[in-house]
Amino acid sequence: MNMVPDNLRYTKDHEWIRVEGDAGTIGITDHAQEELGDIVYVELPKPGAHLEQSSSFGSVESVKAVSDIYCPVSGEVAEINEGLADSPEQVNDDPYGKGWLIKLKLANVAQLDQLMTAAQYTEYIGSES
């Protein structure tokens, strides 16, 4: 069974965002990393880059495929997870913790209302399989 933490918001492209004030931490879901298999490389944007909601901001490369990662909300990249350069498998091992991808300064908090809750996301991945 996939882990879907309650305190996050989710996209249909299987990204999550954890919001604290006007900052958001973004990663891919447990479901996404499971589908991808062993992750061998993560490409991330540079800090300071401005991202638009739903735009691709990088990619995750696994032994099976390369998948684009999409930004759940608009904002400016405040920080990237430097640890993934040496240990991309953290995305597999701990997708909601050490495997986070970027931290974003949110441009428009109202965009969060367009994302799925944990219950909606659980239903969504259930209907996909």
The enclosing domain of 79 has a CATH number of 2.40.50.100
Domain for residue 29, yes or no? yes
pLDDT tens digit sequence for 84-104: 999 999 999 999 999 999 999
Domain for residue 4, yes or no? no
| Residue 129 pLDDT level (bands cut at 50, 70, 90) | low
pLDDT tens digit sequence for 2-37: 689 999 999 999 999 999 999 999 999 999 999 999
Question: Both ends of the chain: CA-CA distance in Å?
Answer: 12
Closest CA to 11 of 114, 101, 99: 114
pTM (2 decimals)? Answer: 0.95
Domain for residue 126, yes or no? no
Domain for residue 125, yes or no? no
Domain for residue 2, yes or no? no
Domain for residue 14, yes or no? yes
Domain for residue 13, yes or no? yes
Domain for residue 118, yes or no? no
- Whole-number Å distance between alpha carbons of 41 and 82: 12
Domains in the chain, number: 1
What is the pLDDT of the chain when averaged over all its residues? 95
The domain in which residue 40 lies consists of: 9-113
pLDDT at 19: 96
